Amino acid sequence: MSSAIFGKVVQLEAALLLLFVASVPAQDADIVRTCTAYKRSVWEETSEFSFLIEDAPIIYKTLDKCTSYAPLIIGGGPALPKEFPHAVRLGHQDNNGEVDWFCGGTLISDRHVLTAAHCHYSPQGSVNIARLGDLEFDTSSDDADPEDFVVKNFTPHPGYSYPAIYNDISVVRLSRPVTFNEYKHPACLPFDDGRAVSSFIAIGWGQLEIVPRTENKKLQKVKLYNYGTRCRMTAEKNEELPEGYNATTQLCIGSNDHKDTCNGDSGGPVLIYHKKHPCMYHVMGITSIGVACDTPDIPAMYTRVHFYLDWIKQQLARN
């Protein structure tokens, strides 16, 4: 009798283990390899030398400079030089060369920037210019390497329908490739969906305060927290969210303090540190829609990047 019960318990434990393993999303091998390749291309230097003996073999040695530029973020504040080399600012340049910057983005390859689809519906005009490698706008005294790129085209997700904010994701293609260095190189795509992540880093050049309206020219960072599915309660249905919060395609992120993303941060990333490479980040979300900017315990909604990996990979494969 007891052995029969023991056998059933073992079977139940095995079944639960299989269920748990099946529920954990497998890492995409291509994304893992690409992430490692980006890290190596920027942070590893290989030198060769040999002993001064005839026919001595050549010895190769690799120096890995991948270290973190900053400690874990506790509150918020200005970003450090080279801390977020994947940060992109997007805008519209008119025929006179004047640029209106209104959205953020994330470099994910040498030609592609990830942003929010709603950024293409800006009253300032369509997204046609991207700036990489910058830290503080309108100054040359910061430790930065700003470079502007013409936008060749962009592809909003086919499921996006303005003004509704679902599937709020777009891939922007630059007219020429980016040369990677310590100031400009991609963030990694997600290895998982972020449900188990407790906190994120949000960055952007958006407003520092909603009232009074505070213009910001320096890249800012802030630590925000995963509120799980709380947005189902805090987000009212409206024309932007006709079906309310969608936990499958959106992340619910905020703070119990006056820390938040705000106007001008749209399209920018929410990030986590890479577990093995401290110089690298994963882009887990895209700043999409706020419920009440800078209001404690009222989280905002961000596009869950992991849900769209197959579609993103299709865009990266396009010529």
Same domain, 132 and 217: no
Write out the DSSP string of 171-191: EEEESSPPPP-SSS-PPBPPS
Q: What is the mean pLDDT of the chain?
A: 83
Same domain, 171 and 198: no
Nearest CA among 253, 259, 216 for reference residue 89: 216
Exposure string over 37-70, b if 16+ CB within 10 A, otherwise e: ebbeebbeeeeeeeeeeeeeeeeeeeeeeeeeee
Q: State which H helix or E strand residue 63 sits in.
A: strand 59-64
Q: How far apart are the first and last CA of the chain?
A: 67
Residue 13 counted as domain residue:
no
- The answer, yes or no, to whether residue 8 has pLDDT greater than 60, is no
Domain of 287, CATH number, reads: 2.40.10.10
Residue 255 counted as domain residue:
yes
Residue 285 counted as domain residue:
yes
Average pLDDT over residues 227-246: 91
Same domain, 301 and 193: yes
Same domain, 174 and 192: no
- The answer, yes or no, to whether residue 246 has pLDDT greater than 70, is yes
- The answer, yes or no, to whether residue 189 has pLDDT greater than 60, is yes
Question: What's the pLDDT score for residue 9?
Answer: 38
Average pLDDT over residues 144-159: 97
Residue 116 counted as domain residue:
yes
| Tokens linked to 220 | 């800012």
| Tokens linked to 290 | 């706020």
Q: Do residues 253 and 303 make contact, with C-beta atoms less than 8 angstroms apart?
A: no
Same domain, 144 and 196: no
Same domain, 195 and 152: no
Residue 67 counted as domain residue:
no
Same domain, 221 and 155: no
Which of 70-74, 143-147, 296-300 shows the lowest per-residue confidence on average (mean pLDDT)? 70-74
Which positions are catalytic? 118, 168, 266
Same domain, 119 and 179: yes
For 174-188, what is each residue's pLDDT tens digit?
Answer: 999 999 999 999 999
Same domain, 175 and 233: no
Look at the chain and report how many structural domains it folds into.
2
Question: What's the pLDDT score for residue 71?
Answer: 56
For 36-70, what is each residue's pLDDT tens digit?
Answer: 999 888 888 765 655 556 665 666 666 888 877 55
What is the domain extent for residue 254?
A: 187-307
Residue 166 counted as domain residue:
yes
Residue 172 counted as domain residue:
yes
Residue 258 counted as domain residue:
yes
Average pLDDT over residues 121-137: 93
Same domain, 217 and 299: yes
